[in-house]
């Protein structure tokens, strides 16, 4: 029987078979697990205000932080450049985690190599690993640029990337003219957002060295930031095309992370050309669509390149209006009718839906820029944010979020919880419930425990397909956000009104 292919069970069913159920029972017994009544009693207690206070007093333990580590952000920046191989100096387990994380979210292969440091390198230093690694990577994968970052291990022992790469070039294991930008990305400080910034700054500083011209090239630069919605890069390009603006996107990882299936694997797909990257120093102006993954990069652009920078978050109607007007002001290009029509469509969609979302209480967690962008949109829709949780927060973000909330009558109920994790959010959702919450796939566990509807917006999203192909910015992004929010609420409403002759008086066909 067990050999029959017809009997192969999907894992959803498989573990409900009697042999597995017995095995689980025996395991519980062998491990001396408490009785299920006891487990339920404690689980119930974790929903209380008393537990919340204990939970918020915890200092030396983080449970499910809503952030990733620096090198993950660094390699996302690296693959936005043509022919670039991300090279992570440190332990290979870390790199396996980064690749898996991206592959699960984007459903695309993600190529990044590691210098695979082990115990001996931890004691004697990773120079040999780095030299061998650069030599092999260049010989095998023929990159146009190798972008090097580090894991915690290399940082703890204090490996000096600059001198290691210099040695590799002196030893002629890689060509002397191969661009090898590097960024130290210790993960015991900052997050993926900081890592993105460190790597982008390093790549731009490497490529633009000695490239400053007398005159500007008449273009603008746009930095999307730690962007995981490929639809956003397409939306950005659509806006630039509609306005006839010549721009360089730094760094453009759209094709790499959302590549067509042509039957042929290409290791390097699309990306900002190294020539455009080098010429970005001569642009008229740089726009950053996210503030927190571009802090150091913008500083460099302003101080060294002597170029003006603007942070603009085109989320919601007002955010997009402001971005377009600033683009128009800097480039002198008019906002075309095409974009006005798109704006009208977004306003129309918001008007159709507003009665269903106005006054709804919501929680949100995620990266600082995503949260600010979403808050802009939520306030615009009359949604009332209640719990705002950002693990990789800082004082600047908190001040910015509070100012935004204070500017709207719908922001008055909100508390900004900086540096907190998803176990804190669990307590918040139990003690001060909301109508829905917004976050990445890890919110699934909070949905299961608290039964609060989850709207999946953020990174990573592992358990739903294709969301990363949509936009969250621009007028079309506003419609997508609205769609995800209101239809989640409708699903919930249908679930709560589907008992015949009991709750189904509101089980309506038309919403």
Residues with catalytic function: 152, 156
CB of 152 or CB of 173, closer to ligand SF4: 152
d(CA 272, CA 285): 17
- When binding is defined by CB under 6 A, the residue of 94, 121, 161, 379 that contacts ligand SF4 is 94
3-state DSSP call for residue 277? Answer: helix
Look up tokens 């721009």; give the residue.
247
Q: What is the smallest separation between the CB atom of 186 and ligand SF4, expressed in angstroms? A: 8
Look up tokens 């820029």; give the residue.
369
d(CA 475, CA 258): 21
d(CA 103, CA 256): 11
- When binding is defined by CB under 6 A, the residue of 47, 62, 64, 97 that contacts ligand SF4 is 97
Q: Site map for ligand SF4, 158-197, x if CB under 6 A?
A: -----------------------------x----------
Look up tokens 């503030």; give the residue.
291
Q: Per CB under 6 A, does 151 bind ligand SF4?
A: yes
Q: Site map for ligand SF4, 8-27, x if CB under 6 A?
A: --------------------
The residue count of the chain comes to 511
Positive or negative CA dihedral for 54, 56, 57, 63?
positive
In the complex, residue closest to ligand SF4 by CB:
94
Decide the pairing of beta strands 113-114 and 220-223.
Answer: unpaired
Q: What is the smallest separation between the CB atom of 95 and ligand SF4, expressed in angstroms? A: 8
Q: Per CB under 6 A, does 122 bind ligand SF4?
A: no
Q: In terms of DSSP H, where are the helices of 269-417?
A: 274-279, 295-303, 316-331, 337-357, 368-380, 395-406
Q: What is the smallest separation between the CB atom of 204 and ligand SF4, expressed in angstroms? A: 23
Assigned token pair, 143: 């990159």
Q: Per CB under 6 A, does 202 bind ligand SF4?
A: no
3-state secondary structure 265-282: CCCCCCCECHHHHHHHHH
Look up tokens 């955010």; give the residue.
319
Backbone angles phi, psi at 120, to 5 degrees: -65, -40
3-state DSSP call for residue 318? Answer: helix
Query: Nearest to residue 379, comparing CAs of 346, 408, 351?
Result: 408
CB of 127 or CB of 152, closer to ligand SF4: 152
CB of 94 or CB of 301, closer to ligand SF4: 94
Edge-to-edge order in the sheet of strand 220-223: 247-249, 220-223, 285-288, 308-311
Residue 333 near residue 327 (C-beta atoms within 8 A) = yes
Provide Rg for the chain, Cα atoms: 25
Q: What is the smallest separation between the CB atom of 122 and ligand SF4, expressed in angstroms? A: 12
CB of 187 or CB of 353, closer to ligand SF4: 187
CB of 89 or CB of 360, closer to ligand SF4: 89
Q: What is the smallest separation between the CB atom of 70 and ligand SF4, expressed in angstroms? A: 7
State the greatest distance between any 2 C-alpha atoms of the chain, in Å, as a whole number.
81
Q: What is the smallest separation between the CB atom of 124 and ligand SF4, expressed in angstroms? A: 19
Q: What is the smallest separation between the CB atom of 445 and ligand SF4, expressed in angstroms? A: 21
3-state DSSP call for residue 52? Answer: helix
Q: What is the smallest separation between the CB atom of 151 and ligand SF4, expressed in angstroms? A: 4
CB of 187 or CB of 205, closer to ligand SF4: 187
Q: What is the smallest separation between the CB atom of 368 and ligand SF4, expressed in angstroms? A: 19
- Binding footprint of ligand SF4, residue count (CB under 6 A): 7
CB of 89 or CB of 219, closer to ligand SF4: 89
Q: Site map for ligand SF4, 41-80, x if CB under 6 A?
A: ----------------------------x-x---------
CB of 152 or CB of 493, closer to ligand SF4: 152
d(CA 350, CA 174): 55
474: region left, alpha or beta (phi > 0 left; psi from -120 to 50 alpha): left
- When binding is defined by CB under 6 A, the residue of 46, 51, 141, 152 that contacts ligand SF4 is 152
Residue 422 near residue 441 (C-beta atoms within 8 A) = no
CB of 187 or CB of 320, closer to ligand SF4: 187
d(CA 98, CA 93): 9
Instruction: Note the residues at the interface with ligand SF4 (CB under 6 A).
Output: 69, 71, 94, 97, 151-152, 187
């Amino acid at each position: 029987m067990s050999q029959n292919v017809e009997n192969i069970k999907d894992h959803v069913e498989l573990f409900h078979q009697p042999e597995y159920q017995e095995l689980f029972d025996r395991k519980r017994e062998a491990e001396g697990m408490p009785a299920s009544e006891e487990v339920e009693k404690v689980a119930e207690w974790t929903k209380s205000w008393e537990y919340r206070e204990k939970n918020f007093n915890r200092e030396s333990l983080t449970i499910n932080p809503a952030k990733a580590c620096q090198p993950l952000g660094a390699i996302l920046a690296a693959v936005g450049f043509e022919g670039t191989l991300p090279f992570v100096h440190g332990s290979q387990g870390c790199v396996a985690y980064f690749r898996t994380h991206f592959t699960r979210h984007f459903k695309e292969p993600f190529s990044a190599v590691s210098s695979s440091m082990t115990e001996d390198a931890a004691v004697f230093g990773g120079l040999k690993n780095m030299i061998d690694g650069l030599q092999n990577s260049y010989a095998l994968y023929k990159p146009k640029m190798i972008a090097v970052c580090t894991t915690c291990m290399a940082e703890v022992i204090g490996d000096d990337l600059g001198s290691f790469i210099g040695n590799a070039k002196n030893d002629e294991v890689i060509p002397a003219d191969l661009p090898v930008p590097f960024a130290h990305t210790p993960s015991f400080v900052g997050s993926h957002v900081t890592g993105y910034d460190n790597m982008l700054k390093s790549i731009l500083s490497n490529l633009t060295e000695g490239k400053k011209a007398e005159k500007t090239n008449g273009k603008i630069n746009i930095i999307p930031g730690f962007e995981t919605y490929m639809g956003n890069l397409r939306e950005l390009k659509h806006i630039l095309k509609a306005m006839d603006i010549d721009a360089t996107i730094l760094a453009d990882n759209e094709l790499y992370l959302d590549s067509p299936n042509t039957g042929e694997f290409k290791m390097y797909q699309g990306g900002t050309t190294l020539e455009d990257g080098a010429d970005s120093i001569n642009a008229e102006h740089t726009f950053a669509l996210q503030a927190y993954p571009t802090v150091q990069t913008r500083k460099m652009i302003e101080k060294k390149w002597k170029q003006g920078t603007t942070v603009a978050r085109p989320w919601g109607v007002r955010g997009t209006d402001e971005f377009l007007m600033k683009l128009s002001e800097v480039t002198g290009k008019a906002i075309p009718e095409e974009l006005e029509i798109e704006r009208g469509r977004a306003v129309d969609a918001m008007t159709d839906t507003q009665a269903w979302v106005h006054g709804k209480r919501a929680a949100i967690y995620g990266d600082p820029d995503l949260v600010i962008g979403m808050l802009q949109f939520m306030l615009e829709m009359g949604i009332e944010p209640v719990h705002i949780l950002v693990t990789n927060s800082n004082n600047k973000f908190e001040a910015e979020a509070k100012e935004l909330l204070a500017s709207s009558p719908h922001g008055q109920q909100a508390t900004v919880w900086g540096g907190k994790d998803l176990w804190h959010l669990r307590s918040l959702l139990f003690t001060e419930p909301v109508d829905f919450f917004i976050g990445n796939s890890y919110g699934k566990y909070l949905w299961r425990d608290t039964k609060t509807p989850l709207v999946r917006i953020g990174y990573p999203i592992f358990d739903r397909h294709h969301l990363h192909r949509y936009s969250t910015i621009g007028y079309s992004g506003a419609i997508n956000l609205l769609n995800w929010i209101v239809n989640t609420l409708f699903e919930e409403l249908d679930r709560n009104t589907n008992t015949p002759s009991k709750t189904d008086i509101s089980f309506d066909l038309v919403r």
